[in-house]
Each structure stands twice: as structure tokens, then as C-alpha cells.
Structure 1
Amino acid sequence: MDPVFDEVTAASRRIAGIVRPLTVIEADADLAPTGTISLALEFLQHTGSFKARGAANLVAALLETDRMPRTGIVSATGGNADIGFAWAARRLGVPATVFLSRSTSPAKVRRVRELGAEVRVTGATKAEARQAARRFQDDTGAIDAYTHDDTLTSAGAGTILLELAAARPDLDTVICAVGAGGMFSGIASVAQKLGIRVVGAEPEGSQALHAALVAGTVREVEIDSIASDSLGASRVSPAALAWAETADNASVVVDDAAIINARWQLWQNHRLAVEHGSATALAALFSGAYRPQPGEQIGIVLCGANTDPADLAS
């Protein structure tokens, strides 16, 4: 299974001093009435999400092995990954070209441009933007940052658990949200080494991992969730499925109402403004989708905050 633990430790050395170290706090009693919950505040990361870790590891690894072309990287995910790749490229001095569809919010287009990437708005849908990106890749030799090496990006995400476990050595279980499964794979590779259980949480309307587990193979799923802007992958990676099938890991789904409630509770009780996808991990506990054992030490990865906080105002 990839990425292996050694690749995550290599990523940790490679991105040290580039990404922000993880901040960990204990949840107040109103969020954790029956046990200890540690909140991993990865949404404080550069670009507002964990994607910066994988992007930095990928770009740095390509540079140190002389595999980065002069035309740099290209991205067209339509999600937080675009922002992460644009940031990492600027941080490490590499050209980045990002293709976005005409349906992309002006705020996101502006953010990617502010990070120094060349932005090309083309096509009515994400799929059409990705097709344009593939043509650009074929014409220029640029590297598709999202598909080139998912082991490197997953390994970067796995460094979250290295830091969380260092801060909380008694950790039993870590719960993280799952989209395409990159973060889940990276965290699971570390968890196996450290004897920690991983619970992957998904919205009912975007459950690529859970559906793959039921079918026994990766399959396409329909996307219809309030968290689909960050967890809207129609297919999970084969590596994530393999990790989820190991004995001590688990997959749960939660409905949108539980996600909205968890996001609101984080704001109301801790003044933490996260995106709906990020709140999905905590919703797994609040909804009872995951029921911890008495005394179980839980870590919750709050992975992103690229959200409009206006609807959180009380």
C-alpha cells in the first residue's frame, strides 16, 4: 500500500520550514462531554487547507530530483488543491498554470491569481477545464500536479498525523474527512505504524470511499452534498480503498444536517470557522456514526477553512 511510512517521514523532512506546524487543542467539554477530543487545526495551514502539505512535498521532490520541467505544473481540480499547488509553486519558484471553468467563483479565481499562478478561465464545467489542462500539458510538457504522483501528495498529508501523534502520544483514533482519499491514505500509512485507528468520514451525498467498500472496488458515485465543494470526488483512489479495507480502520457517512450542526458548534463554542467538508469529521462523532469506546482518545482533523463565514454569524 502507498504511501508507506518511510515516504511520509521523508515528506516531513522535505517540507519542514515550508509548511506551518500543526496546532493542536483540546475540545471544550461541550464538544467532548464523554471523553477527550483533540482538535488538529490544520485549517490554519497555508492556503487554508491541508492541501499545502502535499503540494509542497510534490514540488520539492520534483525539484530535488531534477524532474521539474521549465514549464512547471498545471492544475485543474476545481477545489482546494488548485490553491495549494499555486501556493507551493510560488513558494518554491516554479511556474504554475491553473485552468478553471467559467462557473468558478470570482473569489477563487482571484485567490489563485494572487498566489502567482497563471489562471486560464475556460469551459462551462470543471470537466471542460480539465480537458483544456490536458491539452496544455501535452503541448508544453508541464506536469499535471494532481495526477502525476499521488503518493507524494498523500505522503505530505500524512505528516499531519506525525505531528498530531507527537502532540498527543496517547491517541487511539483519528477521524478525518474523505474526498478522493489522499489525506486518508497518508494518515492511514502513519496510523498503521503507530497503532492508531483511522475513521474516514463522508457525507451521505458524497461517499466514494464508503460505496467502494460496499462494492469491493472503486466505483463512480453521484455527488449531492453541502460539502461537495471540498469532498465532491466521484471516485476514491485505489490506495484509499486498500487502506480502508485493513482490519482496524473504518468508514462512516453522515447527513448534511449533522455536518451543518458540527460546523455551527465549532463556531459557537470555539469560534473556529471551518468549511463544511472539514466539519464532516466532527459530525461523525456528533451524529453517532462513529461511537468511541469509554476512555478512547480521539483526534479530529479539521482540514480546511476555505469558506464564507457570513452564515456563521449569530
Structure 2
Amino acid sequence: MPLAITYDDVVDAQSRIAGTVRPVTMIAAEPPNLLFAAEFMQHTGTFKARGAVNFVTAHRQAGTMPDAGIVIASGGNAGLACAWAATKCRVPATVFVPVTVPEFKKAKLIALGADVRAVGTEYAQALEASMDYAAHTGAVVSHAYDNPLIAAGAGTLLLDMLTADAFDTVVVSVGGGGLFAGIATVAAQRGVRVVAVEPEKCRAFAAGLEAGFPVDVPVDSIAADSLGARRVTPLALTAAAASDTISVLVDDDAIIEARQHLWDSRRLVVEHAAATAVAAIRAKRYEPKPGEKVAIILCGANSDPSDLG
């Protein structure tokens, strides 16, 4: 598998998914020069619909979609997107999830027609089970983030954002790094700085940057259901090296505060993963320069709102 994606890969993905995914809505925020990219309004509630449609469509176009369909391991969101895209293309989807996946996400997967199988307590264990399933059935593996088609599809989000508005910096939450890889690839071509934000105790990207290659890290955060990858994709590290990227970490208290703030001030219900990007600004882990225009990606909304006051 390639260790990098190109700007042309993202442009190609944009052509494949045009008319299927929703264009992003940009929302003016406070303080001045701050924007929210409301990708939580995307089909299935997250940016992952972009990569899933690109993946399924590319395999259909190439004639490489097997009768067994697609298999994926996911904490929930990538599985939802994969199941949705598979349904649109009338192919089977089998989704392996950790037993810790929120019940409302599991129910959504089932409603989309996916064959849902709960294995292990972490993403890595569900991934291993999905690979065994693929080996026995011939199903094509759609990784949650470590795949060039998935990352290129995710990168179309920044193309949409730049079509809708102009800004200097984009702030994005990072888990396994598929979204980051796509965003950073476009950002490098278009002269945009990237602020990559992770929970302090889910820091696969930061650890990979420090080591110079992907390494395993512990996973323990309020946002682990979406950002709890044990290691980052090499695609993300390659994209980081070619772009103006800053890596920052935020603690769980800051994530919880940012999510509550979005509800209190905007009545926006987002995942803790989406609030992680907001926390970087609110906790001043990244402080924009005077006049710097910043866009924050609100990447997902598959969240239980019962804990919001």
C-alpha cells in the first residue's frame, strides 16, 4: 500500500463522491476570525462518509468488489459510513466493533443493514478479527483510516471548506490519522497551516512524529470511542512531513468543557472527538496570531446528548 496520497488523489476522490455527500457548511464563530466547519451534518454524522463513498465507488469502477462485499473494523463511525456507502451500492457490509462501542452506534449500524460483530475491548482487537474474516471470505477490507482511498476521500472536506471560505489555518482532531492525512495533503498544496489535536492519553500521531514512524500507544480518553487508535497510519506521518503542521495535546477536562460550550453557546451536539479540536483553541494550546483566520473542523455528531446540561 502506498505510504502517501497526492493532491490529485483527493481531486479524483472529489469527482467520485460529487452529488453523493453533502457539501460542508461553514459557520462564523467567536472570537472574530474563527470558523466552524459543520461536517457533523454529513451523512451518517461524520466526515467518514466521504472516504467510504470514495472507497466503494473506486472498487466498483475497477471491478474489484467481491461478492462477499466489504468488511471493516470500527469504533462506530467508520462502520456507519461503510454500511451506508455499501447500502447505496447494494453490496454487503460486515462491521467488527469493540464490545465497548456505544449502544446507539451499534443500533445505527444494524439499522443500516450491516452484519455487526462485537469482538474485544479495543479497536486493535476488532481489526484483527476483521482481517481473519477477510482471509476466510474474500471480502475487501475497508480500514477505518489506514487506506489511501479513505484518506483521499476525507481530504475532500478541506477542498469543500476552501471553496466555501478563505482561512489561514485548519484545526483538526486526530485519531488514526486518515482525516489528517487527507487534510494535510490538501493544505500543503493550498498554503494552509494544520493544527493536529489529540487527547493527551490518545496520542498516536504525536508519538509517531516523535519516533519518526508509527508506534503503539496506550488508549485512555473520553474521546477514545472515535480517537482511540493505538497507532497512526504512515499516511499521516508522510503528510505531516510535507505540510506546515503543528501537533498539540489537550486533556479530557478541556474536551468536556469544549463540548459543553458548543451546546451552551450554539446548541450544537457533537462528539467528544469533534470537541477535541475546539479544546485546542479554548484551552489555548494553539493561540492564533492577530489577523489569523482559523477554521475548526467539527468532525462528527454521533454522540449521546444526555450528559449535556
Indicate the TM-score class for this superposition, using the shorter chain for normalisation.
over 0.9
The within-5 A match list for 1:1-314 is 2-27=4-29, 29=30, 32=31, 35-122=32-119, 126-146=123-143, 150-169=147-166, 171-246=167-242, 248-313=244-309
- Number of residue pairs matched? 307
User: Is the 2:145–2:179 contact (alpha carbons within 8 Å) kept by the matching residues of 1?
Assistant: no
* Unpaired runs of at least 5, structure 1: none
User: Is the 1:244–1:251 contact (alpha carbons within 8 Å) kept by the matching residues of 2?
Assistant: no
Following the alignment from structure 2 to structure 1, what is the Cα–Cα distance between the partners of residues 245 and 79?
Answer: 29
Q: How far does residue 148 in structure 1 lie from its aligned partner after superposition?
A: 9.8
Following the alignment from structure 1 to structure 2, what is the Cα–Cα distance between the partners of residues 125 and 220?
Answer: 13
Following the alignment from structure 2 to structure 1, what is the Cα–Cα distance between the partners of residues 121 and 173?
Answer: 28
Query: Structure 1 residues 303-312 or 210-219, which shifts more?
Result: 210-219
User: Is the 2:87–2:113 contact (alpha carbons within 8 Å) kept by the matching residues of 1?
Assistant: yes
Following the alignment from structure 2 to structure 1, what is the Cα–Cα distance between the partners of residues 120 and 209?
Answer: 34
**Matched residue of 1:299: which SS?**
strand
1:252-284 per-residue CA deviation (whole Å, 9 max, x = no partner) reads: 111111111111111111111101110111111
Alignment CA distance shift 1:243-1:102 (3 Å): closer
TM-score, structure 2 normalization: 0.94
Could you say what the CA RMSD is over the residues aligned between the two structures, in angstroms?
1.8
Identity of aligned residues (%): 49
TM-score, structure 1 normalization: 0.93
Q: Which amino acid aligns with 1:221?
A: V
Query: Structure 1 residues 116-125 or 231-240, which shifts more?
Result: 116-125
Query: Structure 1 residues 298-307 or 142-151, which shifts more?
Result: 142-151
Alignment CA distance shift 1:247-1:71 (3 Å): closer
* Unpaired runs of at least 5, structure 2: none
Alignment CA distance shift 1:296-1:235 (3 Å): same
